[in-house]
Structure 1
Amino acid sequence: MTQQCSNLYFQRIDPSRNMARYYALSIQPTLFGEISLIRAWGRIGTLGQEMSHHFASEADAIAILLQIARRKRAKGYVAKAICGKSPEEAGVVAQDR
């Protein structure tokens, strides 16, 4: 795998609507030489749900990861962790609503 960042964690919190959601994306190698994109989501503080997609190349997985990240930002999710670091530590400006 390349050294490119492949872990993203988003949150969307709106107390007026009793909303506290998270969405996590991670790219990991499988035991069979494929690349998997793991998506986890749910209410903050719960186990939530998880789905994995398998790809032959890392470039395909990264393209889907970026596409999902754009959709989540458009819905109001805010990046809270990128590669295990805060957005500021990772050199990315947090995009608030």
Structure 2
Amino acid sequence: MLTLLCHRVTDDAAATPMHFYRVDVTYNLFGEYTVMRAWGQVGSRGRYANAWFGNLRDAIVVADQSYRRATGRGYRLTEKVFASAA
């Protein structure tokens, strides 16, 4: 449903991002909303954490908090995808 992908930005404009932070909000088969967070070095699998919620509002609040925490640590939004259910 919603994907936010951030990369750590360095002062050197020619440097490639070395770290990523990704937040996904999805709907699962059990009628819950899942907030999936992944972070680590670019090119690696990284680390993951999942949280489940009974309603979309709570899931979006946690995803927004995670995004704000990442931007406070030097990450910048590089991709935002919103997919509606067809």
TM-score bracket, normalised by the shorter chain, equals 0.7 to 0.9
Question: Which is bigger in relative contact order (C-alpha 8 A, separation at least 6)?
Answer: 2
* TM-score where L is the length of structure 2: 0.81
Counting matched residue pairs gives 78
Note the aligned Cα RMSD (angstroms).
2.0
Aligned-partner Cα distance in 2 for 1:6–1:62:
9
Superposition pairs of residues 44-63 of structure 1, within 5 angstroms: 44-63=42-61
* TM-score where L is the length of structure 1: 0.72
Identity of aligned pairs, percent? 28
Aligned-partner Cα distance in 2 for 1:68–1:48:
16
Match of residue 68 from structure 1: 66
Greater strand share, structure number: 2
Return the offset for 1:15. 7.9
